[in-house]
């Protein structure tokens, strides 16, 4: 890229590089900022714009009238609208100005940056090659990989290729836990490449590096920053229901850039597009250890809500739990909602006081999950928050009330995907207790069966 020598980057431009921020958040005197805007090295945009529907937040893309409010603004002296959606990143109101650097700064190339000596399975290697090509061609690609396929390693050759080109790579994921878990793995794989980790509690957020790991929220800071944009768990709450995160991705990537989506459970619309060839995808139907995915078993359990009201669990559910306790095999029990979770935990604690429940709002969530990992908790009752991410070697999984709306195909596939992750324990029981089979349950089961068939056909299974 050609940068005219006259605009030899000022500290301000270097600091702001790749970010778009409210003008008052810049740690520079306002006069300096004004001068930079004047010379054209910085661009300024309004924070909110008025559309036919009403306000639209330029930072987060929110245009839901319900998520705007107004206040008597002391800065501009008038009634100022503001966006309630992205408040955590600092309030954007109608008198806010967003600034970004007009030109991205060039980056150095890295020779052979990858020092990872692991080995890809046949399925992984094939996918890795496709991803690498998509990155070099700056295309869009969906990586549809079953739970436990080893998605992260698949990215390494592609990222290495991008770094050799002197490109910037951003990986966004909805969960902070995932960012934290991935950071050391990337650091080990690319030891000579500066890595910036962006999440709410990190000091590095906003800092541009050749390799950036970000929560989708913090990605709102970036503007036209990445040549390679990787979005992990696109189907995961909240990405699928949050247009904001899609918007963040569209703003953070450069106009000419590749976009790689990683998912174990693409939405139905995407599955259709993939089948019709409207979207490019590479499918990895087998786990890295080459064993098939455990297939869920459906079991009717009657009107379990009514039984809970009477202070009892359905008998088959209860005996499933007792069996695990007797065998000493750890298990997850998923329930649809917090209220039910509390009842179920209370009932089960009579049998074994070590049993605990976790849900999104539980303050001691991390502790309980750790206790489960350490084997101090025999059975963890949970809402869908644990449907992904938490991997424990040898467990069984049951869902109580699998017919509930909250258990979509994608949620159920993810739940089933908790089982048999470890090569030493590739099997396990996946049981959906229900009061009336739903099409989502059937789809989830079919999804898993189809993946196993495909894996077998392609010779990716070891047995």
Partner 1 sequence: MNCLLCHSPYNPIASWRQLLLLEEPDVLCPRCRGTFAVIRGRLCEMCGRLLEEAAPSVCADCLRWQEDEQWGRALVKNRSVYLYNDWMKDVVALWKFRGDYVIVEAFRRPFVQAFRRHFGRDWCIVPIPLSPERLHERGFNQAEALARLLPSPYFPWLSRKHSEKQSKKSRRERLETDNPFFLADHPPLDGKRIVLIDDIYTTGITVRHAARILLEAGAAEVGALTLVRA
Tokens of 399: 């869902």
Binding mask 431-450 for partner 1 (x = CB under 8 A): --------------------
Tokens of 10: 């000022």
Q: Check binding of 69 to partner 1 (CB under 8 A).
A: yes
Question: Can you tell me which of 51, 66, 111, 203 binds partner 1, judged by CB under 8 A?
Answer: 66
Contact segment (CB under 8 A) with partner 1 among 65-73, 224-232, 323-331, 405-413 equals 65-73
Task: Decide whether 4 or 65 has the Cβ nearer to partner 1.
Answer: 65
Give the shortest CB-91-to-partner 1 separation in angstroms. 4
- CA-based end-to-end distance of the chain: 52
Q: Check binding of 50 to partner 1 (CB under 8 A).
A: no
Contact segment (CB under 8 A) with partner 1 among 29-37, 62-70, 292-300, 376-384 equals 62-70
Q: Check binding of 31 to partner 1 (CB under 8 A).
A: no
Taking the C-alpha atoms of residue 220 and residue 225, their distance in angstroms, rounded to an integer, is: 11
Tokens of 243: 């247009």
Q: Check binding of 71 to partner 1 (CB under 8 A).
A: yes
Contact segment (CB under 8 A) with partner 1 among 45-53, 68-76, 283-291, 416-424 equals 68-76
54-57 and 48-51 strand pairing: antiparallel
Q: Applying CB under 8 A, what is the total number of residues that bind partner 1?
A: 15
Closest CA to 369 of 385, 354, 361, 380: 380
Tokens of 326: 């007797």
Task: Decide whether 84 or 437 has the Cβ nearer to partner 1.
Answer: 84
Q: Does residue 5 contact residue 70 with C-beta atoms inside 8 Å?
A: no
Task: Decide whether 43 or 73 has the Cβ nearer to partner 1.
Answer: 73
Give the shortest CB-231-to-partner 1 separation in angstroms. 24
Taking the C-alpha atoms of residue 426 and residue 431, their distance in angstroms, rounded to an integer, is: 16
Question: Can you tell me which of 72, 108, 201, 328 binds partner 1, judged by CB under 8 A?
Answer: 72
Q: Check binding of 70 to partner 1 (CB under 8 A).
A: yes
DSSP state of 19: B
Give the shortest CB-70-to-partner 1 separation in angstroms. 8
What does 69-98 look like in DSSP terms, one character per residue? EEEE-TTTSSEEEEESSSGGG---BTT-EE
Task: Decide whether 89 or 286 has the Cβ nearer to partner 1.
Answer: 89
Closest CA to 333 of 386, 389, 260, 256: 386
Task: Decide whether 22 or 302 has the Cβ nearer to partner 1.
Answer: 22
Q: Check binding of 241 to partner 1 (CB under 8 A).
A: no
Give the shortest CB-364-to-partner 1 separation in angstroms. 13
Torsion sign, CA atoms 404, 316, 412, 354? positive
Give the shortest CB-401-to-partner 1 separation in angstroms. 20
Give the shortest CB-71-to-partner 1 separation in angstroms. 3
Task: Decide whether 68 or 433 has the Cβ nearer to partner 1.
Answer: 68
Q: 411-441 burial string, b = 16+ CB within 10 Å, else e?
A: bbbbbbbbbbbbeebbebbbbbbbbeebebb
Q: 238: cis peptide before it, omega within 30°? A: yes
Contact segment (CB under 8 A) with partner 1 among 73-81, 238-246, 265-273, 442-450 equals 73-81
Task: Decide whether 55 or 270 has the Cβ nearer to partner 1.
Answer: 55
Task: Decide whether 80 or 259 has the Cβ nearer to partner 1.
Answer: 80
DSSP state of 329: -
- CA distances in angstroms from 312 to 299, 309, 326, 346, 383, listed in the order given: 18, 7, 20, 10, 19
Contact segment (CB under 8 A) with partner 1 among 72-80, 99-107, 127-135, 375-383 equals 72-80
Decide: helix, strand or coil at residue 9. Answer: coil
Residue given tokens 């001691």 in the structure block: 364
What does 131-192 look like in DSSP terms, one character per residue? HHHHHHTT-EEEEEE-TTS-HHHHHHHHHHHHHHTT--EEEEES-HHHHHHHHHHHHHHSTT
Give the shortest CB-82-to-partner 1 separation in angstroms. 7
Give the shortest CB-74-to-partner 1 separation in angstroms. 5
Task: Decide whether 73 or 449 has the Cβ nearer to partner 1.
Answer: 73
Taking the C-alpha atoms of residue 361 and residue 365, their distance in angstroms, rounded to an integer, is: 8
Give the shortest CB-338-to-partner 1 separation in angstroms. 10
- Contacts (CB under 8 A) with partner 1, residues 74-103: 74-75, 80, 82, 84, 87-88, 91, 93
Q: Check binding of 73 to partner 1 (CB under 8 A).
A: yes
Q: Check binding of 1 to partner 1 (CB under 8 A).
A: no
Task: Decide whether 25 or 129 has the Cβ nearer to partner 1.
Answer: 25
Task: Decide whether 75 or 446 has the Cβ nearer to partner 1.
Answer: 75
Residue given tokens 């089982």 in the structure block: 419
Helices (H), 229-337: 243-252, 268-275, 304-309, 315-327
Task: Decide whether 53 or 276 has the Cβ nearer to partner 1.
Answer: 53
* Residue numbers at the binding site for partner 1 (CB under 8 A): 66, 69-75, 80, 82, 84, 87-88, 91, 93
């Amino acid at each position: 890229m050609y940068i005219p020598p006259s605009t030899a980057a000022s500290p301000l431009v270097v600091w702001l590089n790749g970010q778009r921020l409210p003008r008052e958040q810049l740690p520079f005197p306002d006069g300096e900022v004004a001068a930079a805007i004047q010379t054209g090295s910085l661009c300024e945009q309004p924070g909110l714009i008025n559309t036919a529907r009403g306000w639209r937040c330029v930072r987060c893309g929110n245009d839901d009238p319900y998520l705007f409010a107004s206040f008597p603004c002391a800065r501009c002296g008038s009634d100022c609208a503001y966006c309630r959606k992205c408040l955590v990143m600092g309030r954007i109101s109608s008198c806010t100005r967003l600034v970004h650097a007009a030109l991205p700064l060039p980056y150095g190339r890295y020779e052979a940056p990858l020092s990872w000596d692991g080995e890809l399975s046949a399925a992984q290697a094939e996918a890795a090659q496709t991803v690498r090509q998509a990155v070099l061609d700056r295309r869009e690609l969906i990586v549809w990989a079953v739970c436990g396929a080893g998605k992260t390693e698949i990215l390494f050759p592609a990222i290495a290729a991008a770094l050799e080109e002197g490109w910037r790579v951003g990986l966004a994921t909805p969960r902070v836990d995932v960012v934290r878990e991935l950071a050391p793995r990337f650091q080990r794989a690319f030891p000579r490449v500066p890595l910036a980790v962006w999440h709410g509690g990190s000091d590095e957020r906003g800092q541009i590096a050749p390799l950036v790991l970000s929560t989708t929220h913090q990605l709102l800071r970036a503007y036209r920053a990445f040549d390679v944009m990787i979005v992990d768990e696109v189907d995961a709450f909240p990405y699928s229901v949050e247009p904001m995160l899609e918007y963040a991705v569209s703003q953070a990537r450069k106009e000419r850039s590749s976009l790689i989506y990683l998912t174990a459970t693409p939405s139905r619309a995407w599955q259709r597009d993939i089948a019709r060839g409207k979207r490019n995808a590479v499918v990895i139907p087998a786990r890295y250890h080459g064993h098939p995915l455990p297939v869920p078993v459906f079991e009717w359990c009657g009107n379990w809500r009514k039984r809970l009201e009477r202070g009892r669990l359905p008998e088959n559910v209860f005996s499933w739990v007792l069996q695990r306790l007797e065998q000493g095999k750890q298990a997850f029990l998923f329930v649809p909602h917090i209220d039910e979770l509390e009842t179920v935990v209370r009932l089960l604690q009579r049998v074994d006081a070590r049993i605990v429940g976790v849900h999104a709002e539980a303050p001691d969530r991390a502790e309980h999950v750790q206790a489960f990992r350490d084997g101090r908790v025999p059975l963890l009752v949970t809402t869908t928050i644990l449907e992904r991410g938490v991997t424990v070697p040898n467990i069984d999984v049951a869902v109580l009330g699998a017919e509930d709306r909250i258990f979509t195909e994608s949620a159920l596939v993810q739940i089933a995907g908790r089982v048999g992750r470890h090569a030493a324990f590739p099997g396990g029981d996946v049981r959906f207790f229900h009061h009336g089979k739903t099409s989502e349950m059937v789809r989830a089961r079919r999804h898993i069966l189809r993946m196993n068939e495909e894996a077998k056909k392609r010779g990716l299974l070891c047995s």
